[in-house]
Copies of this chain bind each other. A is one copy, B any other.
Amino acid sequence: MSILHDEGQVAIATQSRRVLDARVSKDRLLGLIEPVGRYDTVFWDTAIEQGWTALAIPEAHGGLGLGLIELGLVAQATGAATAGAPFLTQGYGAVRALVDGADADLAAAWLPRLATGEAIATVALAEGNAVLPPQPVVSYADGRLTGVKPAVTGGLAADCAVVWAMGAQGPVLALAELGEVGRTPVHSFDNSRLYADLAFAATPARVLAQGAAARNLAHDMLARMAVVTAHEQVGGAEALLFIARDYALTRKAFGQPIGAFQSVKHRIAELYGLVEIARANAIHAAACEGTADFALAAADARISATDAYDTAARDCVQIHGGIGVTWDAGLHLHMRRARSLAIEQGNLLFWEDYLVDHLVGEAA
């Protein structure tokens, strides 16, 4: 492993930032907050054009065969841009399930289409507040899924989903096409996440793994998606850090830049600390891919990144004063995204417990 990025990786980071700076429009994103069911097609087309959809897919299936480090760098850029579509992280989770669990023809049927962006995949593990319910209510029998998965990220637009369901011999991970599935939109404070309750009614599905194998695969998917999300959170937090810094340098009060007041100055310095610690954890976790330390490193990254992003949103708005709470200033794009990412795939409490369980060797 290495935590120093090579030239190729540095190039990915710069290029993804550059292209998003050029193409993402704040006004367009503001327009996506209130309506339900819309997402930023310009961003998604860019993701496809840039090959981000193919990034982590094996070359044998038309992908670039790269890993978490590269995907993380892209996620950091999308986080900074509060990207208007949630498919990258979810898609990666699904891809991992297909790569590790699917038989040749199933993998061949989906992976190339996911690589080109023709198809969009998501992941549906949680039920209620359980990120990975021991006894999922959604059931699998005779090649069919039945039951409801609540507030699935990207659920309104995805073509297929990897679903955590209860089979005859314990839980399974199954891949289902969503064409016939009932989708109830969840009106959210961050609607471009495309949350939907997915109602499976004897929906045909193919098993990817069952029993212990399914549980291990699901845990691996969770940890990997957590690392991607952590990078996205770091990108958002860092963007807010710079916004706050620049505002503190230009905005004046009582005859001097507000950045000269220690209440503002130290708040921004503390943010810097949170961001750097979270970034270091995220990079470290990505570099740990496949090692025994991965689960713990993923939890470290997810916890520090969630804390950094929520805090950055809170503090950056506060530093801006009145202008910071206006719709048009758009800081609430980050505020909303900080919350939605904090809640998706396990809140802080979940990841704290996940970390401690792994630390003291009581991992589920």
Give min CB distance, A259 to chain B, whole Å.
Answer: 12
Q: Could you give, for residues 256-279 of chain A, a 1 whenever the CB lies within 8 Å of some chain B CB and a 0 otherwise?
A: 000001110010000000000000
Main secondary structure of the interface of A (DSSP, over half): helix
Give min CB distance, A267 to chain B, whole Å.
Answer: 10
- Residue numbers in B under 8 Å from A266 (CB-CB): 262-263
Copies of this chain in the oligomer: 2
- Residue numbers in B under 8 Å from A262 (CB-CB): 261-263, 266
Residue of B nearest to A261 (CB): B262
Q: Interface residue count for A (Cβ, 8 Å)?
A: 4
- Residues 229-269 of A at the B interface (beta carbon under 8 Å): 261-263, 266
Residue of B nearest to A260 (CB): B262
- Inter-chain CA distance A263–B54, complex, in Å, is 49
- Residue numbers in B under 8 Å from A261 (CB-CB): 262
- Inter-chain CA distance A266–B262, complex, in Å, is 9
- Inter-chain CA distance A96–B262, complex, in Å, is 50
- Inter-chain CA distance A262–B266, complex, in Å, is 9
- Inter-chain CA distance A266–B266, complex, in Å, is 12
Give min CB distance, A319 to chain B, whole Å.
Answer: 13
Q: Could you give, for residues 66-97 of chain A, a 1 whenever the CB lies within 8 Å of some chain B CB and a 0 otherwise?
A: 00000000000000000000000000000000
- Inter-chain CA distance A261–B262, complex, in Å, is 7
Give min CB distance, A354 to chain B, whole Å.
Answer: 22
Give min CB distance, A6 to chain B, whole Å.
Answer: 41
- Residue numbers in B under 8 Å from A263 (CB-CB): 262-263, 266
- Residues 152-205 of A at the B interface (beta carbon under 8 Å): none
Give min CB distance, A260 to chain B, whole Å.
Answer: 10
- Inter-chain CA distance A262–B260, complex, in Å, is 10
- Inter-chain CA distance A263–B263, complex, in Å, is 6
Give min CB distance, A222 to chain B, whole Å.
Answer: 30
Give min CB distance, A270 to chain B, whole Å.
Answer: 11
Q: Could you give, for residues 261-302 of chain A, a 1 whenever the CB lies within 8 Å of some chain B CB and a 0 otherwise?
A: 111001000000000000000000000000000000000000
Residue of B nearest to A266 (CB): B263
- Inter-chain CA distance A266–B264, complex, in Å, is 11
Give min CB distance, A195 to chain B, whole Å.
Answer: 32
- Inter-chain CA distance A263–B270, complex, in Å, is 12
| CB-defined A-B contacts under 8 Å, sample of 6 | A261-B262, A262-B262, A262-B263, A262-B266, A263-B263, A263-B266
